[in-house]
Amino acid sequence: MKIKNEIDENDSAIENTIKHRNFPQVPKVIFGKGSFNQLDEILLPERKHIDAPFIFLVDDVFKNTMLAKNVPLRFNDELIFVSSAEEPKTKQVDELVGLIREKYESLPSGIVGIGGGTLLDLAKAVSLLLTNKGSAADYQGWDLIQKSSIYHVGVPTISGTGAEVSRTTVLLGPDKKLGINSDFTVFDQVILDPDLSIGVPKNQWFYTGMDCYIHCIESLNGTYLNAFSKSYGEMALELCKEVYLEDIDKQESREKLMMASWHGGMSIAYSQVGVAHAMSYGLSYLLGVKHGIGNCLVFQHLEEFYGDSVKLFNKMKEKHQIDLPSGICKELTEDDFNTLCNVALKMEPLWENALGKNWKERITREKLKSIYRKI
């Protein structure tokens, strides 16, 4: 008995040496139909002085729309329209930072990103690079950022990426697609106005929503899963099912998907994504395939890893009559397939989450290539 007690004590001593992650969350969030109209009053106390503008980075699909007209510009604030046709790039961040530094003597009061994941990620990255020297590419990785960013606000206009809640900003760099993961990346304020997602094209709505669905599946089936991630992941998954499989009212659907995105993002914050994300990163890097559709293109072929969840994905796809493009990898050379595999296999935490510590024994280049060939 004495021996047993000693073993128990040793075990708990080992438990106590495990270092748990301590990560920040968005400190302020406002949710509700029409809440975008409160942006002006939210920004007012954050204005440093009359010459320190707010810079609004807005998706250029909103050019000449009511949303653009309602951006609360004051003093020398600036609205910059940015295309989200391509994945956000480190070069793009450097250019925006250069532009702002050149034009204004002092730091702006803040950056506001209005749009989908691309705009949210750009806003986060620009706010970081205004206070940290060098190129955005220097900071792709984990906790390389040294100085706190300037104040930054995220206003999602499409739901699913979880970018509004994450501590990363995923960028395409000269030699990799990787996030700037840091405590300073997290938004200071998020505005969740479900009405802003009115008018999102159906395909886009599906691909981006499925990013959230896949976050849930990869988190809930991962080896990193814990009670924190599970609670958020299960909630987000239920909301996704309601939105994509039931016939609910459109307003309710927008609200639920917005909250699914938030919860899905919270779920992966304390766990990790998995196979679809790792492989989708390869498609983005080599072919510029956007994140949401890239995940869908991969996920449909992952029954071996995610079984019934892939069947459910196909059911949702059929219900909404979504045709995914095919033949994306048809013309690729052997070198191209190797690049796809190199990028995917570099995402080690994702594989470890998906397949466990001995993931290298369970996944081969040939296996990856055989999946890519189907896309």
The DSSP string of 310-363 is: HHHHHHHHHHTT------TTTT--HHHHHHHHHHHHH-HHHHHHHH-TTHHHH-
Residues binding Fe ion (CB under 5 A): 211
Closest CA to 223 of 262, 272, 266: 272
Q: Which is nearer to Fe ion, 195 or 234 (CB)?
A: 234
C-beta of 254: minimal distance to Fe ion in Å? Answer: 20
What's the CA angle centered on 242, arms 238 and 245, to 5 degrees?
A: 120
C-beta of 61: minimal distance to Fe ion in Å? Answer: 20
C-beta of 314: minimal distance to Fe ion in Å? Answer: 19
Cα 163 to Cα 115, 184, 238: the distances in Å are 11, 14, 20
Q: Which is nearer to Fe ion, 30 or 324 (CB)?
A: 324
C-beta of 206: minimal distance to Fe ion in Å? Answer: 14
Q: Which is nearer to Fe ion, 53 or 294 (CB)?
A: 294
C-beta of 277: minimal distance to Fe ion in Å? Answer: 6
Distance between CA atoms of residues 233 and 212, nearest Å = 10
Beta strands in 32-151 (DSSP E): 54-59, 78-82, 110-115, 141-142
Distance between CA atoms of residues 260 and 162, nearest Å = 9
Q: Which is nearer to Fe ion, 67 or 276 (CB)?
A: 276
- Token pair for 116: 């989908």
Strand order in the sheet with 152-156: 28-31, 189-192, 152-156, 110-115, 54-59, 78-82
β-pairing verdict for 189-192 and 177-181: unpaired
Q: Which is nearer to Fe ion, 62 or 281 (CB)?
A: 281
Q: Which is nearer to Fe ion, 121 or 211 (CB)?
A: 211
C-beta of 75: minimal distance to Fe ion in Å? Answer: 37
Q: Which is nearer to Fe ion, 217 or 341 (CB)?
A: 217
Distance between CA atoms of residues 369 and 41, nearest Å = 52
Neighbours of 50 (CB within 10 A): 9
| Residue number closest to Fe ion, CB atom | 211
C-beta of 222: minimal distance to Fe ion in Å? Answer: 14
